[in-house]
């Protein structure tokens, strides 16, 4: 197994959110901004993010002008005519260049961009057992459904409680979809990460009945959750999975595992982005990573969560936290 490149470990991070919720009732991203996915299209750095408005998730896209990120534009809203997307559509990945130190340029198939989303069947914050679906677009603004859904009841016992954030990639002519899932839909559940494969982006089969990346033992930083995979290939050919762990202390942090074959994963034990000091933008959680090279740096975009001393009222909902997108980086 290859040694993890030293530049994978961030050495600094921003003191401010790069994309924040609006806290304006009625906005699609009023209550929180989550699940960054960084990419390039025609050389321009972009990012999809998931917004929560007190009803459910919807997805927008933001662009980087060299200094700041634009206010995200809603591109994948909920669909009231859909049985599984009536309240939620959380786009979390689009086919892109796999290389860790590459440019992250989006990859098209017959002129289409393909992406993956998860959707919960009920209104509210992640209520019900979510499914994962495939969508496609020619312009990143207009999306249509494609292929079959991944459903929790079709997988192993470890994922019967619902499916979460997914990562879509193509390798050696085959499509891989990594995702995390939970074992039950109420109470104190655990989350672990598995994968499905497809030859046509329509039909999917699980790689294994058990998770490829299980949660850790007592006292580990991923004791409860080993979640939200971001899978990229290091220059020596080793696959690197950035993911987040939730420990018994209730804090989520960015961790990493490595593999030679995309199936057998070994955790390194490194905490790449840990929670910040009290009062910082990520004093509660630093999780859900998306990694991309920008100039001579490797950027780790992540969901930063800060506990509020007093809840903020947004449209009659008492928000206990400030949830948005942070960034950490290291020099290549």
Q: Supply the pLDDT for residue 187.
A: 86
Specify the CATH number of the domain 6-331. Answer: 2.115.10.20
pTM attached to this predicted model: 0.97
Six-digit token pair at 24?
């304006």
Residue with tokens 């595992």, as numbered in its chain: 257
Question: What is the Cα–Cα distance from 37 to 267, expressed in whole angstroms?
Answer: 22
DSSP 42: T
Q: Supply the pLDDT for residue 2.
A: 58
Q: Supply the pLDDT for residue 185.
A: 85
pLDDT in tens, the chain (332 residues): 557 889 999 999 999 999 999 999 999 999 999 999 999 999 999 999 999 999 999 999 999 999 999 999 999 999 999 999 999 999 999 999 999 999 999 999 999 999 999 999 999 999 999 999 999 999 999 999 999 999 999 999 999 999 999 999 999 999 999 999 999 988 889 999 999 999 999 999 999 999 999 999 999 999 999 999 999 999 999 999 999 999 999 999 999 999 999 999 999 999 999 999 999 999 999 999 999 999 999 999 999 999 999 999 999 999 999 999 999 999 99
- The C-alpha torsion from 185 through 190 and 193 to 198, rounded to 10°, is -20
Determine what percent of the chain falls in helix, strand and coil, rounding each to the nearest 5.
5, 50, 45
Domain boundaries, the chain: 6-331
Q: Where are the beta strands (DSSP E) in 44-130?
A: 44-52, 57-63, 73-76, 90-94, 113-119
Six-digit token pair at 132?
């994962």
Rounded alpha-carbon distances, angstroms, from residue 251 to 83, 177, 248, 290, 312: 34, 26, 8, 19, 21
């Amino acid at each position: 197994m290859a040694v993890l490149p030293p530049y994978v470990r961030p050495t600094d991070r921003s003191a401010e959110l790069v994309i924040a919720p609006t806290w304006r009732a009625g906005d699609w991203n009023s209550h929180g901004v989550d699940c960054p996915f960084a990419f390039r299209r025609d050389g321009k750095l972009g990012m999809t993010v998931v917004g929560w408005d007190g009803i459910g998730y919807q997805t927008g896209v933001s662009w980087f002008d060299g200094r700041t990120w634009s206010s995200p534009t809603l591109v994948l809203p909920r669909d009231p005519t859909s049985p599984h997307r009536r309240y939620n559509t959380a786009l979390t990945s689009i086919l892109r260049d796999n290389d860790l130190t590459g440019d992250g340029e989006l990859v098209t198939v017959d002129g289409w961009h393909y992406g993956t989303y998860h959707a919960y069947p009920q209104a509210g914050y992640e209520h019900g057992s979510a499914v994962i679906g495939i969508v496609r677009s020619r312009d990143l603004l207009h999306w249509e459904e494609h292929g079959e859904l991944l459903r929790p009841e079709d997988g192993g016992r470890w994922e019967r409680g619902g499916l979460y954030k997914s990562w879509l990639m193509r390798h050696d002519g085959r499509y891989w979809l990594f995702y995390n899932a939970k074992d039950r839909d109420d109470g104190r559940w655990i989350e672990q990460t598995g994968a499905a494969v497809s030859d046509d982006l329509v039909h999917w089969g699980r790689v294994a009945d058990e998770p490829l990346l299980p949660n850790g033992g007592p006292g580990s930083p991923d004791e409860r959750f080993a979640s939200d995979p971001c899978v990229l290939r290091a220059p020596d050919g080793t696959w690197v999975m950035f993911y987040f762990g939730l420990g018994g202390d209730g804090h989520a942090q960015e961790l990493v595992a490595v593999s030679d074959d995309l199936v057998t994963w070994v955790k390194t034990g490194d905490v790449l982005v840990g929670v910040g000091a009290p009062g910082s933008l990520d004093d509660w959680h630093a999780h859900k990573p998306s990694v991309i090279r920008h100039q001579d740096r490797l950027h780790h975009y992540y969901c930063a969560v800060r506990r509020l001393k007093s809840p903020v009222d947004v449209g009659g909902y008492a928000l206990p936290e400030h949830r948005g997108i942070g960034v950490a980086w290291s020099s290549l």
